[in-house]
Amino acid sequence: MRKRGPIRIGTRGSQLALAQASELRARLMAAHGLSEADFEIQVITTAGDRIQDRPLSEVGGKGLFTLEIEGALIDGRIDLAVHSAKDVATVLPQGLHLSAFLPREDVRDVFIGRGGRRIADLAQGALIGSASLRRQALLKRLRPDLEVVNFRGNVPTRLSKLQDGQVEGTLLALAGLKRLVLDGTVDGEILDPDSFPPAPGQGAIALETRIGDRETEALVAPIHHAPTGVMLGAERAYLATLDGSCRTPIAAWSRLQGERFLFSGTILTPNGEEAHREDVEGPVSQAEALGVQAAQALLARAGPDFFSGWAQDHRRP
């Protein structure tokens, strides 16, 4: 047991973030024979939580969900940070690293329509809410006639807005519904990742710690899920090679089949009119290199101007 008090876990305050922090705590308790009293979950409000009236692309990108938490980690106010992996920028603040990943949940997206409607059942020009440019672009590729509007907020908020009739449908990560135990209560259309690929990191929980903090790294090492680490290593290398941002609709779907690693990468224009996909596979030991290979092939096929005019740096907001 630590000598300096409870283990301090930093997290956002949404229901989903708290569910993820609770999962982390439960796994650490089981791995080390600890009790809840040995932990302190600290809720840290981020800029991404405070700004709800504008798309993330207008205010700095996904790093807005991690900056304040990372600041607390650097300052020593918390011992480790727990994030949705898809929210973590490809370049981290100096002195920090992702030291472990929990077992990945379902990577698929789910479309939730009013009255249980499916995408194919929507009326011409139906209004759909989503804050994700990837989901918007993929949806427009399936149904160019649909009107998509920015739809911010946590999972319960978006479901409430849908119920109130503000939109005819929305898209969510199935992993979030499962972690909130809502997957059995929401009538949704689960989308095939082959035709509606997820965001890099979707469904995974990342643990961030200070480099050189051997005590905390030893604490999280037993709960690290190596297969998830392999997939996230490839997906983050892919994203870094593309230098993507929240203004760049980018998808990645990776799978492990025995000793083989399969990777599918897709990039789209925001309106969904142009899309490029690259599929690669090879030994698991080469997973990260395969992610880079897919990104380089996509850049070569799409051309140097593909992201011009609407891309911004993803590495830091």
Span 292-304, average pLDDT: 93
pLDDT beyond 80 at 57: no
How far is the C-alpha of 97 from the C-alpha of 13, rounded, in Å?
Answer: 22
- Map out the domains of the chain as residue ranges: 1-104+203-224, 109-190, 226-317
Which pLDDT belongs to residue 261?
A: 98
pLDDT beyond 50 at 249: yes
pLDDT beyond 80 at 293: yes
Mean pLDDT, rounded, of the chain = 90
| CATH 3.30.70.920 is right for the domain spanning 1-104+203-224 | no
Domains 1-104+203-224 and 109-190 share a fold: yes
Yes or no: say if 82 and 103 are a contact pair by the CB < 8 Å rule.
no
pTM, two decimals, is 0.90
Q: Which of 49, 79, 87, 106 is catalytic?
A: 87
pLDDT beyond 60 at 53: no
First to last CA, the chain: 37
87 catalytic residue (yes or no): yes
CATH number of 109-190: 3.40.190.10
How far is the C-alpha of 235 from the C-alpha of 24, rounded, in Å?
Answer: 22
pLDDT beyond 70 at 52: no
pLDDT beyond 90 at 314: no
Q: Which residues of 104-136 are buried (b: 16+ CB within 10 A; e: fewer)?
A: bbbbbbbbbbbeebebeebeeebbbbbbbbbbb
Going by pLDDT thresholds of 50, 70 and 90, the confidence category of residue 317 is: very low
Going by pLDDT thresholds of 50, 70 and 90, the confidence category of residue 243 is: confident
Span 90-110, average pLDDT: 97
Per CATH, the homologous superfamily of domain 226-317 is Porphobilinogen deaminase, C-terminal domain (3.30.160.40)
Please give the structure tokens belonging to residue 107: 């990577």
% the chain with pLDDT above 70: 89
